[in-house]
Amino acid sequence: MELAIAEARAALPAGDVPVGALVVVGGEVVALAHNRREADNDPTAHAEVLAIREAAGRLGRWRLDDATVYITKEPCVMCAGALMSARVKRVVYGAHDPKFGAAWSVFNILDDDRLNHRAEVSAGVMTEECLALLREFFEGRRG
């Protein structure tokens, strides 16, 4: 999670919400990404989506069924859908998202028995550090 937090900080210069994600396969980091919506003018440029794309490209396969994805903030509906589509084995996240969270807070897409895949979820890892980064960003914006 420390790597994801460091990656989240890379979103700040462009004014992006500081969210970082990394994909680990076999104990090796295969992808790192941070939010790039503002930088790329792309509403889909969330850290999770970018990390999944990078991992799939590096590994030469779209199925990431042996991957763990670490994210500083609970994934939204779009990102949870991408994680499910990639068949990610496990998702570990830091801060809950009470407004948009799709892994527990609002929806539970990653563990919905109506879907053909489920991901293991571990929540609340380094929560305070992840929340502090988000709080600092939003307090600065609201100034």
The question of whether 48 is a catalytic residue gets the answer yes
**Bridge-based pairing state of the strands 20-25 and 28-34:** antiparallel
Closest CA to 69 of 3, 140, 138: 3
Across the strands, what pairs with 22? 32, 70
Question: Which run of H or E residues covers position 4?
Answer: helix 2-9
Q: How far apart are CA 68 and CA 91, in angstroms?
A: 6
Q: How far apart are CA 103 and CA 111, in angstroms?
A: 8
Catalytic residue among 2, 48, 129, 136: 48
CA torsion sign for 34, 126, 124, 17 is negative
Q: How many CB atoms lie within 10 A of CB 21?
A: 32
Q: Which residues are catalytic?
A: 48
